[in-house]
């Protein structure tokens, strides 16, 4: 699992522990579907690439007008994975769309102004762009034409999901009109909002796993002002939306992304500045006490890092509980316990002096309730 916000973090145990790969504000991460060691990240106006699972990074940014406030949405061809697409979005509007056939070594600037695309997994020359209406290219982005999208004036499409087994079947999410499905490649569309408490939604993410859709959206007013959010699931055949968790659980948080983790049978929901939430059950009627919040408990990267003798460790916890903060060497041996007590909700700071310890890699591990997070420290 990869999570983005103040940096890029990775978990290999379903979200219980996290490792920081990049200490820069990030907006998107894409993993090569054929080689999981290859990562692409949009970070502070740059597109970065790693070929060693985040151990080192190189700048492969396209174009010259990518500002520090820009973010990039990265799409990778599922078969020819050196073919990548990047849509650049600056504050409010798309500002550029690029294609590379060699993993970011060189780029072509394409006509369409979009942030994200969907690639037809069977005929990969066909790609779709959500704009005002749905646009399609049959030659990997060189030329574009408007399709027969849903017949609603000024519709804004925000996400697309193409069925990999039957690519003529697509589900799109919109701004203020909910969901639409086509079964004939876009010639006709049917609105699919059955089960939603409110169809005035701004769809943020559609995730398909097996025979189910998982979606995250914001509920808005007629004028597009945010008022609520939600996460729902449905079978891909008969689309009838069922809420995951309490209906108003994300009202003050904002659900922005969603994924289903098959190996742990859980749904993960990324939020607006409130961390990652995990549902350990995916059936109807999940209660609030069955929801884990992975990152309101947060262990920051020690500072400075690398460091010489002295470093500072900051962390925060959301509720009263027992907290343990320990330091381990590279062999997993505990070398120091910095905190071992009950603490109130809040933010904390601990200084640590490593005089007398040999230079090398160490690990700081925070235990707070069922939450565990680890950060790598480098002593010079």
Ordered mean pLDDT values, 10 residues apiece, the chain (380 residues): 84 80 87 95 88 93 63 90 88 74 93 84 92 88 88 85 91 92 90 85 91 89 73 90 74 81 86 74 42 59 89 85 88 88 88 92 82 81
Q: Order of strands across the sheet with 19-22?
A: 2-4, 8-10, 19-22
Query: Cα(54)–Cα(56) distance, rounded to whole angstroms?
Result: 5
263 in helix, strand or coil? helix
Query: Cα(87)–Cα(159) distance, rounded to whole angstroms?
Result: 13
Q: How far is CA 15 from CA 149, 177, 195, 268, 366, in A?
A: 38, 33, 30, 9, 14
Q: Does domain 299-379 sit in CATH 2.60.40.1930?
A: yes
| Beta-ladder partners of 348 | 315
Contact status, residue 158 vs residue 130, Cβ threshold 8 Å: yes
Residue 137, CB-side half-sphere exposure with 13 Å CA sphere = 20
Please report the beta strands in 144-265, taking only residues with DSSP state E, as ranges in sequence order: 145-146, 157-162, 170-174, 179-182, 190-191, 201-209, 212-220, 226-235, 242-243, 255-261
* Domain residue ranges of the chain, discontinuous segments joined by +: 2-293, 299-379
Q: Which CATH class is domain 2-293?
A: mainly beta
Query: Cα(56)–Cα(133) distance, rounded to whole angstroms?
Result: 40
**Res 327: pLDDT:** 92
Contact status, residue 258 vs residue 212, Cβ threshold 8 Å: no
Count of other CB atoms within 10 angstroms of residue 323: 21
Question: pTM, whole model, 2 decimals?
Answer: 0.72
């Amino acid at each position: 699992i990869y999570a983005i916000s103040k940096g890029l973090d990775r978990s290999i145990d379903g979200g219980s522990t996290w490792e920081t790969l990049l200490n820069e504000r990030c907006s998107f991460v894409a993993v090569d579907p054929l080689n999981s060691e290859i990562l692409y990240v949009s970070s502070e106006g740059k597109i970065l690439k790693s070929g060693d699972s985040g151990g080192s990074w190189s700048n492969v940014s396209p174009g010259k007008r990518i500002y520090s406030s820009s973010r990039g949405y990265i799409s990778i061809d599922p078969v020819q994975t050196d073919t990548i697409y990047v849509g650049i979005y600056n504050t409010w509007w798309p500002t550029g769309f690029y294609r590379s056939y060699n993993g970011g070594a060189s780029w072509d600037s394409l006509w369409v102004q979009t942030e994200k695309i969907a690639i037809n997994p069977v005929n990969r020359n066909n790609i779709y762009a959500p704009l005002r209406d749905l646009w399609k290219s049959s030659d990997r982005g060189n030329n574009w034409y408007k399709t027969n999208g849903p017949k609603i004036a000024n519709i804004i499409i925000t996400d697309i999901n193409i069925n990999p087994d039957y690519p003529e079947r697509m589900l799109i999410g919109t701004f203020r009109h909910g969901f639409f499905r086509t079964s004939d490649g876009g010639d006709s569309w049917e609105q699919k909002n059955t089960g939603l408490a409110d169809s005035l939604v701004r769809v943020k993410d559609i995730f398909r796993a097996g025979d189910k859709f998982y979606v995250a959206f914001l509920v808005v007013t007629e004028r597009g002002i945010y008022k609520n959010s939600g996460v729902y699931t449905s079978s891909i055949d008969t689309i009838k939306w069922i809420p995951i968790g309490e209906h108003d659980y994300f009202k003050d948080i904002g659900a922005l992304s969603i994924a289903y983790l098959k190996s742990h049978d859980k749904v993960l929901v990324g939020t607006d500045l409130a961390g990652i939430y995990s549902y350990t059950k995916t059936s109807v009627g999940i209660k609030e006490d069955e929801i884990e919040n992975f990152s309101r408990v947060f262990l920051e990267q020690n500072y400075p890092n690398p460091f010489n003798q002295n470093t500072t460790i900051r962390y925060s916890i959301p509720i009263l509980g027992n907290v343990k903060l320990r330091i381990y060497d590279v062999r997993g041996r505990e070398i120091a316990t910095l905190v071992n007590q009950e603490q109130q909700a809040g933010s904390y700071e601990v200084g640590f002096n490593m005089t007398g310890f040999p230079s090398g890699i160490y690990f700081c591990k925070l235990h707070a309730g069922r939450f565990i997070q680890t950060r790598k420290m480098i002593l010079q």
